[in-house]
Homo-oligomer: A and B are copies of this chain.
Amino acid sequence: MKKQIDPDEFTCPLPITKHDRIQLVHGSGGQMSNDLISKLFVWAFANDELNKQDDNAILQIDCKKLSFSTDSYVVDPIFFPGGDIGDLAVNGTVNDVAMAGAIPLYLSCGFIIEEGFLLENLKKIVISMKLAASSSGVKIVTGDTKVVNKGKGDKIFINTSGIGMIKHDYKIGADCLMPDDLIIVSGTIADHGICILSKREGLSFQSPIKSDTAPVHELVQIALKVGGSSIHAFRDPTRGGVAATLNEFAQSSNVGIRIKEEFLPVSQPVRGACEILGLDPLYIANEGKMIVVVKADRAIEVLEALRLHPLGKDAVIIGDVVDEKTKLVQLITTLGTSRIVDMPVGEQLPRIC
């Protein structure tokens, strides 16, 4: 027999009044997302795997270590230069699974489709998923389809969940950074976010800006092979951009991080668009990049190895980890001054992924 639940019996650390409502910013990947996640979801579901709050959970099933991750994709527009919601949904979860140092193997796929959606567009998306899965070597093995009445959804939302196998025994995670570690980013930043925003706002630039949606699991395996136990963390800087990732690293590892503006790889068109739109590329979502934190002793070897892969050819070291309990991320500007790179608070770009 089920007991009547009185949610008021449970006092969660997130203060909630009768009138509080979900805002777009709760989904932005910034401070308010983090509060909602840690003070409601993680508080309620509390367990060792979830408490880490990485992009994936590491599961121990008998002697096997698996990486398990989920993401729902609500990107608008659903078709954009460089990709669509289909390959984004496959690559995004492949990347989240891979960030544990895992080899992605299997995906599930749940569609929520709005009544009236063109079947032709569904086919386009499904084929894009098929091609993305095959180029990542993952299999889409189980799925679900729901249809909601017209006006109760928005074209199509896709959830993918993924399972990968972890074969290494290194300790890798947001809480594993050590002073003097170096921070590598695998290529130019802010491409995906600026692509979506441009398309949405109907902006056009001389050279069209394409989403960077791509699977980075091969880069992960290259870094692991070359860096071994000197690899301390992987993360794909999606919502909230590089700024959110570095702030989460600093918080979790109780260290400071310094990055140099002159080292940040930003393509010329993206830099131009950011200037026009008044946006900081550090806060803009990426969908085919990874940040890897490596002990200095292997950083150059890892960097060189990454650059040999087409998706890592623009990899650079952007900064280092410092022994500073303030847990601040600092940017040293091209002028030599320094400013703090905060955790994003407000909503920059809703429905970016």
A residues contacting B by CB (< 8 A) are 1-2, 5, 7, 10, 12, 14, 16, 18, 20-28, 33, 36-37, 40-41, 44-45, 47, 49-50, 55-57, 59, 61-62, 64, 66, 68-74, 76, 82-83, 105-106, 108-120, 122-124, 126-131, 133, 139-149, 151-154, 157, 159, 161, 163, 165, 310, 350-351
Contacts and interface: CB of A to CB of B under 8 A. Distances in A.
Contacts of A56: 142
Contacts of A1: 310
A180 to B, nearest CB: 31
Given A26-B147, A55-B142, A61-B66, 6 more contacts: A45-B139, A59-B163, A68-B108, A70-B143, A71-B144, A159-B161
B147 A49 contact: no
For the complex formed by this chain, how many copies does it contain in all?
2
Contacts of A106: 49, 57, 59, 68
Contacts of A47: 139-141
Given A70-B161, A146-B27, A159-B72, A16 B119 contact: yes
Given A147-B27, A159-B159, A116 B22 contact: yes
15 contacts: A12-B123, A22-B113, A26-B147, A37-B143, A44-B130, A50-B141, A55-B142, A70-B109, A70-B161, A74-B146, A76-B152, A147-B350, A148-B157, A157-B157, A159-B159
